[in-house]
Amino acid sequence: MGWMKVVSIVGMAGAGKSEVSRVFEQNGYTRIRFGDVTDEEIKKRGLEPNEENERLVRELLREKEPDAYARFNQPKIEQALNSSQGEGRVVIDGLYSWEEYTYLKGLYGENLCLVAVWSSPQTRYERLARRSNRPLTVEEAASRDKTEIENIAKGGPIAMADFTIVNESSREDLIKEANRIVALLK
């Protein structure tokens, strides 16, 4: 295979990961959202999509295999890397755990690049309360932060990022910074 790049967008809930992923997608990357696995499993089990059930499913899937999301999505990543329209460029929206990172690093080595999106808890909680899809209360958001940091080691991939975007101002600034990183990776 020729040139390939797997870029994973990491960060806490509400930091702006999906927004940054969309910028990469608009620049020719095939977007793979790890959270789709959760959504599919919730549907399969006939559960109502809410924070409680999402957490339950995430924990159940990771209980046996901490790198489950990377493993479940690997065929999609490979398919995208091998497709002519993907041009060997994939952006992962929402790599969460240290185990997922080490699994993908083992497969893609230097071709894996992490982009962290950081926002303060206060900023993220305000965004999460306002979002139309899956809004969270401050309590739910804080609880999710605690769980993700303590149970799935979400901080590790953020700490290992090749690039970090501070998303404390405008959407326009976030998009501009994401485009700057896309250009650096060409």
CATH of the domain at 71: 3.40.50.300
What is the structure's pLDDT at 88?
A: 85
**CB-count burial class (<10 Å; 0-12, 13-18, 19+) for 171:** exposed
Domain residues for 80?
5-184
Residue 43 three-state SS: helix
- CA distance linking residue 127 with residue 50, whole number of Å: 17
* pTM of the predicted protein model: 0.90
Per-residue pLDDT reduced to its tens digit, 74-123: 999 999 998 855 468 999 998 989 999 999 999 999 999 999 999 999 99
E-assigned strand segments in the chain: 5-10, 30-33, 89-93, 112-118, 163-166
| The total number of structural domains that make up the chain | 1
Tell me the average pLDDT across 5-21: 95
Q: For residue 2, is pLDDT > 90?
A: no
Per-residue pLDDT reduced to its tens digit, 24-46: 999 999 999 998 999 999 999 99
What is the structure's pLDDT at 153?
A: 83
Q: How far apart are the first and last CA of the chain?
A: 17
